[in-house]
Each structure stands twice: as C-alpha cells, then as structure tokens.
Structure 1
Amino acid sequence: MTNVLGNLNPSLVFKYFEEISQIPRGSGNEQEISDFLCKFAKDLNLEVIQDEHLNILIRKPATEGYENCPGVILQGHMDMVCEKNKDVDHDFEKDPIELRIVDDMIYANGTTLGADDGIAVAMSMAILASNDLAHPSLEVLITSNEEAGMTGANGLDGSILKGKYIINLDSEEEGYLLVSCAGGNRSYVTLPVTYKPVDKNRQAFLIELKGLLGGHSGQDINKQRANSNVTMGRILNLLGVEFDLVEVNGGSKNNAIPRECEVKVVIDKNEVDTLKANISKIEEILKHEFRSTDAGLKIVVSETTADKVLSDDCKSKVILLLNLIPNGVQSMSMDIEDLVESSTNLGVVKTLEDKIMFESAVRSSVATLRQNINDKTELLANYVGAKFENTDGYPAWEYVKDSKLEHICVDVYEKLTGKKPVITAIHAGLECGLLLDKMNGAEAISMGPNMFEVHTPNEHLSISSVQNIWEYVVKVLAAMNQY
C-alpha cells in the first residue's frame, strides 16, 4: 500500500481514495472493488446489499435529532475510464494507479486518475466511517459500469432505495450545482470487409496521428478539439497518392474523445517521397487549424509490412464512414446559454479479421434529437452495406422547479461561502435520471470538486477543492433537520 496522499486533508477521504486507487476498476472489471466495498461496510457493522450487477448499497442510521428527516442517498460509481499514453506500460486489469502530487493537484503517471468517480466513493466511505458527523439516515449507493452505459444503475432494483434526496457526487466543477443532464446511448456501425493480395512492388507504411488532447465526450465536446478518428478520415481523403488501405485503429473508449489513430497503407515504391511530402503539408494544415485546441498534434510516418489489403470497395467505404459518420456538437440549447443540446462522438474505430467497427457515444437532452442522430448514422450504414446497432441508453434527467433539495443546497452554500452557486445543466450523462425513474417523489442534485481533463491521461484533481466540497457536503447533511 502506497502513502502518497498521507499528509493531505481531509485525511479519511484521501486515505480511502488512495486505497481504491490500488484496486483495478475499469468498467466491466469491478468484482474486486465491489467486494472491497462490501467488506468495508461489514467491518463497520453497517447493512450492505451487493446485487447481481455488483452495485453496492450501504445503510447508516440517522444520528440523534435527525430521525424524522427525509433519508439521503449519497451516490457515485465505482468504475473508471481506462486511458493511458501509448508509451506507458500499465495493465488496467491488474496494476494499481500510480499517484503523484503536483502543487494543488493529484495526477496519475501517464494514465487516467480515476477521480471520476473515485473521489465520490472515497467521500462516501469517509462519511460512513466517521462517528462525529450529524446526518439523516444515509444510503450510500455505488453503482457499477457507469462509464460503459450505466448498466449498473439500469439494472438496480429501485425498491431497495428508501431515501428521498439523492446527492450525486459525480460532477466536476466546484460552485456548480447540476439539476439536469442529457440522456444518451452507444451506436455501433459494423462494416464487413474483404481483402486482396499485396502487390510486391508496393511498400507498406504506418501513419500515426497523435499528440491530441482528447477529453470527456460530453463535457468537452464543445471545445472543438480534434477527434483522431475523424481527422484520420480527412488525412486519408487528402493523401494525394494512390494507395491501398490495410487497417485503421483509433481510440479505446467511445465516451472519450480519441487522442490517437493509426492506419496502414500500401503505396507504389515510386510514390514514397510524394507521400511524405503530402503528409507534411497535411500536418501543417491541421496544426494551423487546431493550433488553439491541439497544439501537440503530429503525424508520424514509418515503414511497416502488410500481407493483404482491403478491397477497393471496402477502402472507399471506410474513408466515407470516417468522414461522414455524425460527430461533434449537433445542436445547442436555445433555453440554457452555452449548453450543448445534442452531440455524438466517434470514439472507437477497430479493425478485426472480418470487419471494421465504428463506435459512437450519442447524447442529447431532447430524446427526439438523439434519435435523429441515430437515424442519420443508420442511413449511412445502410448506404455502405454495414450493420447498425444501438443500445437502449439512459434517459435524460429533466429539471424540476421548486426542488426542496435544491433550496437546501443553495442556502447552505450561500451561508458557507457568501456566494450563490451556479444552478445549471450538463451535457454529460449522470445516473440521476435512471434512479429517479425508479423512485416516486425523490429529488436529486449533483455536485463535486474541481477535476480537469477527465477521461484522459492528464486527468487531475484539486486537493483544496476536495477539502471545500467535503466541508460543503458535511454541512448539507447537518442542515437537513432545519428545513
């Protein structure tokens, strides 16, 4: 067990954050972290439920004077997005996250940090383990597989939830209280492929697009950052030499804006100098266009080998899909300033033996607009003879006026800071909509400390902001018997 965070306050929060950082917990690999949380609750003699989806629900009775208050559900998710820099040797299936501190920030070493949403788990654990905090009856709900489709929350039996107020700890900006979020789904286009032999007079090259910033496909989608998969489609369209395509691979998670993409191409040996010159021109164009968002963009060309190439028809279809699959912001809200209303992110492109898969994360606060994005993608898939599928997804969390929970949280924030919090919506998906659909008369709000560059290897978490949010959550719980 490491002790990188041992001198930080609140000490219990950072103790538990470091503990869970030692446990691999990528989406779909949550048995160990779920068992850990179950044992944690049992060691405290608290009631705990671990369901078939590995969701964990832990109950703690109200403290004296709070027995008649509405129950509070503290909610977060146990899984994390697993992204790393290409040159980092890290196995997310078994290796712990290596933590480091830089000034006021906690980083990992070349991987995602997992503060999304590990800090919610750590805060909830600290509240459960503390004996000096005033609070109503508590339920800590830590869901599984949130990052890969919210299947944990979707499969949860809502009848086990007894609380009235849901405090979701999965947002990433201090001073903002979230009261609404987009719904979403994943879409999949699968293109069957055929091959032809390689001409012996031709040379194979690997073209790598790298150095992009990436980001969260919901919260960062409006920042106009380059999507490596879409940009590679453009590179292929601009290549300027006759070529055969071997394969294309980019991104690893459809809810993260992809940072890298690589293709193998085969060209006439007499066209090598032309290829390299054209790539240099394309790189210059892209570096200029993305100078403000992706200053580290670079294209690397190197020799490689290939024993077969895609048929000409398949090559054309791949380039068409990379360039025309809907991507990025599709509409902005006319009701809430600067809020993305609908978007989609071509997060993963993967070449397998007999097919190439294109995976997107689709989001919208308006269900019909989300459906329209899926419809357009399906039309394109049908046009090229590909198969289209999409998940059922998760519902939007619609804003409810005159929420008592919102009133409590705003009032406590003003008393604590002397400032008004920002009440807003978010384009990213939260589990509040799913949970509220399973409960009658419940209310929800979302809050959290400052995090930056989540879903990327540069993800970092503010230490001082964790301190502030911890104090705020504790005071919100303590204020529940005053309203």
Structure 2
Amino acid sequence: MNEHLDALSPAPVWRHFRTLCNTPRPSGHEAELVAKLEAWADGLGLAHDRDAFGNLRIKKPAAKGCEDAPGVILQGHLDMVAQANAESPHDFTRDSISTYVHDGWLHAEGTTLGADNGLGVAAALALLESTEVAHGPLEALFTLEEETSMGGALSLDEGWLEGSLLLNLDSEARGEAYIGCAGGSDAVVDARLPQTPVEAHERCLDIAVTGLAGGHSGLDIHRPLGNANRLLARVLRLLEFADARLVSYQGGTLRNAIPREAFARVALPADEIDAVTAKVQTLEATLRGELAPADSDFALSVKPVAAADAPDEALNLDASAMLVAALHAAPCGVERMSAEVKGVVDTSNNLGVVQLEDGRAHLCALVRSLHDSAVTAMVDRFRALFGLIGARVKAEHGYPGWVPNAQSPLLATFIDCHQARLGREPAVKVIHAGLECGILGSKYPALDMISFGPTILGAHSPDERVDIDSVEEFWTLLKALVETLGRQAAE
C-alpha cells in the first residue's frame, strides 16, 4: 500500500515513511512497529536494545575517522494521533494509513497522516542506513506513547543514553529551530452526579456540534478555531430556560487535539421542544458568524429522539445545571502570552475530552505553559471550579518544560549549517507544545539539544498534511548537520 511514496524524494526517507504508514501505530499499539524496526536493524547489523518501558534504541558506530566526534542522539516518537472524520470506518489498530498527494502536499484519506512524528522517525532510519554520511557515534532513540501521556520519555531509563548532543526531529516548520518548549499536565475531573427518572411529560433531543476544523492543542491553540466542547456547553447553557436535563455527553477523543465534534442528549418538557429548536437554530447562525472563516463547515443540529430510544434517567435539574455551568466557565484556550518571547503563547488549556454516561462525568483538559508554576495554578483552578459540584480533580501525566539556551554550541553549529546549505539563517524559536526535550533534559541535564523538522500543518486532525519539498530540505539539513558534527573532536 502507498506505493506512490516510493516515487517521492528523498527516496530513503519516504521509503521508511511508507513502512510507518503501512504499520498501525496509535499510542499504546507500537509493538508491531518496534518488532519491524528491530528486524530491520538486525538486517543491517546494527545493535539495538529497549529500556524497561519499551523505548527502542538503535546504535551505529562512528564512521572511520570520526571516532572522536561527540555522540549524536537522533530522537523521535513512534506513535501517532488517531483522529478520523466521523464518516471514516478507519480502525487505527488494524488499518494502514492511506495517503495521497495534492498540490505538493501529502495528505491522508480522512484520517491523521502520522507525519507527526513519522517523518522524523523515517529520517533517523534513513540516516542509520546511509553509507554516504560521515558521522560520529549515532544513537536513534524512538520513544513510545508520546501523544497520549509522554509515557515513554517520562519512563526513560537514566544512564542509558551515551551521546552528548540530541537532535529532536519532532517540530513542524521548515526554516525554524526550536530551543525551548512548554511543559504541561492533564487536569482530570471525575464526578458521580445524581439522576432521576425521565418523566412521562418529557421528551429527549440530541444536540450535535460538528464540522469544526480542529487542530493541535498547542501549536494551534492561538488560532481562531472553535472548540466543540466549549461551544456545546454554551448551547446547553442557553437551554436552561426550558429545564433541559443532561442525559449523556460525548465531546472530543484526545486531550491534545482541539475537539472537532461534541454530542449531547437532553430530556426536557415536550411543550418546550419547539422553543428550544428555534433557539438552537438562532444560535447556530450566531456561531457561524463568530467562527467564520476558520470553521466555515461548522454545524449545530438538534434532532428528536424516538420514544423507543428514550433513556430511563437523566441528571436531576440541579446537577445538570451545575455541570453545564462548570463546563461553560472552565478555562479554555490561550490564558496568557509570553512576556519573554514575543508572539509565543505562555499558558493555555485545551478542554479536550468531556463525557457523561449513567451519571458519571469525566473531563480531561491539557494544560500547557512555559512556566511549571502556571501549570500547577491552572490545574488548581479546575480543582476549585469543579470542586463546587463535588467532583474529584487530579493532575496526571505532568511533564517539565525545556528551558531555552540561546548560547547552545549545537544551536550555533545548526545555524551555520542552515546558512551554508540553504542560504539563510533559521528562525530560533520556543514552541508552545510538549516536545520530549524537556523530559529528556531533566533526566540527562548535560545534553545539548535542538529540535527541527519539515513543515506539517493540521497535526492532530484529519487535515494533517506535510509539504513534500520541505522534507527534501529537512533531509539535506540533517545530513549536513550530522556530517559537520562528525568532524568535531570530542571534548
């Protein structure tokens, strides 16, 4: 499958990316890919091992004459975000990603592409097999479960890696080098809320927010994109005049993807249905005006539930009102822009996953910040807000940020290579996303690190796509940098 990738350049990178597309690898399901890569390494005679968590390392000795160069770690994550359009039957645990080229960009058919971080992994594999690049000692570190929990990096064995320089291949804009990133934590809310029977005079409606563009909850959080959970909470808040009671709710599937869809079922007096329908239709027109043009496909629908499908219970009126109010008031989006780095988001939150079933409410929001203290404060705001409705709130999967070092020798070498090979200096930036560098730096504080990669747009959404020309540029730069480092004597 995906044979057309073999016709793209650079051929070694796209050949490996084809393998990744053809191997299902959502977070937590990387075992098949790991086995393939180990067999591939065996075929080349490359040493490989895993740490206790299952992170994979493949090692390649220095080329002749480069034995004294500093060791370089090529780092990326094997898993990908599993997001598909509602009409797609794709099973990320079984099906290959189907790709196509349009106007110089590689896309997937109705799903995420997995260029994040598949192209970084593919480039590392291509470099490991290359016989044309003079290099010092190489280690390729491929981590697991980055997209869901940073679990691989957080569990990485200390004292395992040998290199002193780390090239993270997981950023998404050509012509840029990243030297810092946000830390983050999940704010997880759980509550058991009281229910009462759906009465004879009540009927049920299904309300749906669909058609939003979605996006990466860090890289795209500053863009004017609708969040389906925030929008549906606004709709539900509007319906309190009709004594609408929540029966169920499902919004978003990943805490690190801006939710594109959200669905709720409510019970309300039958004689309020016409008024509710009219208000929803009016609100749809209002929201279309607010969301255009970024979310031009937005739709808000209301549909009666057949009597045969009516539920037995809904939240009682007070519990429903409190939950809706908390969702409506919850922090969402950009909280603060950075005072130190112009144009960079300092602190944000993505109201990523909201669920309600049988009276059990669950929410998972991903908080990001350049300051760990701000992450703690934001999680505490969730604790304070949802504590008012008796919910339990905890912080999970926390990870540190990566403090920028503008004086990095590795950065200086990268800038020189970029200028020499591409005729221009790169923009040096800090990213509002959870690169694994922050975690790796906490475990290996002596590492000198930078992050760079090809241009990927729409990551974490089915609109994900990669600029094919930027992959050629990325590969050229990676080879040049590794060759330059290979000529440097180890300190």
1:328 maps to which of 318, 328, 333: 333
Please tell me whether the aligned partners of residues 246 and 306 of structure 1 are also in contact (alpha carbons under 8 angstroms).
no
Q: CA–CA distance in 1 between the matches of 2:310 and 2:30?
A: 38
Q: CA–CA distance in 1 between the matches of 2:486 and 2:179?
A: 22
Q: CA–CA distance in 1 between the matches of 2:4 and 2:202?
A: 53
User: Tell me, what secondary structure is at the counterpart of 2:26?
Assistant: coil
Of the structure 1 ranges 158-167 and 193-202, higher mean CA displacement relative to structure 2 is found in: 193-202
Of the structure 1 ranges 445-454 and 51-60, higher mean CA displacement relative to structure 2 is found in: 51-60
Q: CA–CA distance in 2 between the matches of 1:2 and 1:280?
A: 43
| Change in CA separation of 1:88 and 1:127 when aligned onto 2, cut-off 3 Å | same
Please tell me whether the aligned partners of residues 172 and 450 of structure 1 are also in contact (alpha carbons under 8 angstroms).
yes
User: Tell me, what secondary structure is at the counterpart of 1:4?
Assistant: helix
Please tell me whether the aligned partners of residues 30 and 54 of structure 1 are also in contact (alpha carbons under 8 angstroms).
no
Q: CA–CA distance in 1 between the matches of 2:135 and 2:487?
A: 11
Please give the TM-score of this superposition, normalised by the length of structure 1: 0.98
Matched, 1:250 2:251: yes
Q: CA–CA distance in 1 between the matches of 2:359 and 2:209?
A: 24
Q: CA–CA distance in 2 between the matches of 1:4 and 1:277?
A: 50
Aligned match of 2:415: 410
User: Tell me, what secondary structure is at the counterpart of 1:379?
Assistant: helix
Aligned match of 2:452: 447
Q: CA–CA distance in 2 between the matches of 1:327 and 1:412?
A: 40
> Which residue identity lines up with residue 433 of structure 2 in the other structure?
A
| Change in CA separation of 1:348 and 1:395 when aligned onto 2, cut-off 3 Å | same
Aligned counterparts, 1:198-277, within 5 A: 198-239=198-239, 240-277=241-278
| Change in CA separation of 1:440 and 1:309 when aligned onto 2, cut-off 3 Å | closer
Aligned match of 1:117: 117
Aligned match of 1:315: 320
| Change in CA separation of 1:443 and 1:297 when aligned onto 2, cut-off 3 Å | same
> Which residue identity lines up with residue 281 of structure 1 in the other structure?
T
Aligned counterparts, 1:297-446, within 5 A: 297-304=298-305, 305-307=309-311, 308-446=313-451
User: Tell me, what secondary structure is at the counterpart of 2:473?
Assistant: helix
Please tell me whether the aligned partners of residues 8 and 14 of structure 2 are also in contact (alpha carbons under 8 angstroms).
yes
Aligned match of 2:152: 152
Ranges in structure 1 where 5+ consecutive residues have no aligned partner: none
Deviating beyond 6 angstroms after TM superposition, the runs of 4 or more aligned structure 1 residues are none
Q: CA–CA distance in 1 between the matches of 2:348 and 2:456?
A: 22
> Which residue identity lines up with residue 310 of structure 2 in the other structure?
A
CA displacement, residues 113-138 of structure 1 (integer Å, 9 cap, x when unaligned): 01100111111111112212211110
CA displacement, residues 22-67 of structure 1 (integer Å, 9 cap, x when unaligned): 1111111121122222222122111101223221100001112211
Q: CA–CA distance in 1 between the matches of 2:330 and 2:170?
A: 30
Please tell me whether the aligned partners of residues 38 and 50 of structure 1 are also in contact (alpha carbons under 8 angstroms).
no
Following TM superposition, by how much is the alpha carbon of 1:224 offset from its aligned partner in structure 2, in angstroms? Answer: 2.8
Aligned match of 1:95: 95
CA displacement, residues 288-339 of structure 1 (integer Å, 9 cap, x when unaligned): 1111321211111112232221111220122012111211111111111110
> Which residue identity lines up with residue 388 of structure 1 in the other structure?
V
Of the structure 1 ranges 235-244 and 66-75, higher mean CA displacement relative to structure 2 is found in: 235-244
Please tell me whether the aligned partners of residues 194 and 311 of structure 1 are also in contact (alpha carbons under 8 angstroms).
yes
Tell me the number of residue pairs that the alignment of Structure 1 and Structure 2 aligns.
483
Aligned match of 2:85: 85
Aligned match of 2:279: 278
Q: CA–CA distance in 2 between the matches of 1:399 and 1:198?
A: 56
Matched, 1:471 2:476: yes
Ranges in structure 2 where 5+ consecutive residues have no aligned partner: none
Please tell me whether the aligned partners of residues 193 and 355 of structure 1 are also in contact (alpha carbons under 8 angstroms).
yes
- % identical equivalent positions: 36
Please tell me whether the aligned partners of residues 69 and 487 of structure 2 are also in contact (alpha carbons under 8 angstroms).
no
CA displacement, residues 214-252 of structure 1 (integer Å, 9 cap, x when unaligned): 110001111131111011111111135332221111000
Q: CA–CA distance in 2 between the matches of 1:135 and 1:465?
A: 23
> Which residue identity lines up with residue 336 of structure 2 in the other structure?
S
Please tell me whether the aligned partners of residues 215 and 454 of structure 1 are also in contact (alpha carbons under 8 angstroms).
yes
Matched, 1:188 2:193: no
Matched, 1:167 2:167: yes
Please tell me whether the aligned partners of residues 158 and 435 of structure 1 are also in contact (alpha carbons under 8 angstroms).
no
Please tell me whether the aligned partners of residues 255 and 364 of structure 2 are also in contact (alpha carbons under 8 angstroms).
yes
Q: CA–CA distance in 2 between the matches of 1:329 and 1:367?
A: 16
Please tell me whether the aligned partners of residues 28 and 145 of structure 1 are also in contact (alpha carbons under 8 angstroms).
yes
Please tell me whether the aligned partners of residues 97 and 108 of structure 2 are also in contact (alpha carbons under 8 angstroms).
yes
Matched, 1:197 2:201: no
Of the structure 1 ranges 161-170 and 318-327, higher mean CA displacement relative to structure 2 is found in: 318-327
Q: CA–CA distance in 1 between the matches of 2:261 and 2:406?
A: 43
Q: CA–CA distance in 1 between the matches of 2:397 and 2:50?
A: 25
Q: CA–CA distance in 1 between the matches of 2:48 and 2:235?
A: 53
Aligned match of 1:457: 462
Q: CA–CA distance in 2 between the matches of 1:357 and 1:145?
A: 22
CA displacement, residues 2-23 of structure 1 (integer Å, 9 cap, x when unaligned): 4131211111111111111111
Q: CA–CA distance in 1 between the matches of 2:158 and 2:100?
A: 38
Q: CA–CA distance in 2 between the matches of 1:391 and 1:456?
A: 23
Following TM superposition, by how much is the alpha carbon of 1:361 offset from its aligned partner in structure 2, in angstroms? Answer: 0.4
Of the structure 1 ranges 208-217 and 312-321, higher mean CA displacement relative to structure 2 is found in: 312-321
CA RMSD in angstroms, aligned pairs only: 1.3
Q: CA–CA distance in 2 between the matches of 1:135 and 1:252?
A: 42
Aligned match of 2:288: 287
Q: CA–CA distance in 1 between the matches of 2:152 and 2:391?
A: 30
User: Tell me, what secondary structure is at the counterpart of 1:17?
Assistant: helix
> Which residue identity lines up with residue 24 of structure 2 in the other structure?
P
User: Tell me, what secondary structure is at the counterpart of 2:449?
Assistant: strand
> Which residue identity lines up with residue 245 of structure 1 in the other structure?
L
Following TM superposition, by how much is the alpha carbon of 1:262 offset from its aligned partner in structure 2, in angstroms? Answer: 0.6
Please tell me whether the aligned partners of residues 113 and 462 of structure 2 are also in contact (alpha carbons under 8 angstroms).
yes
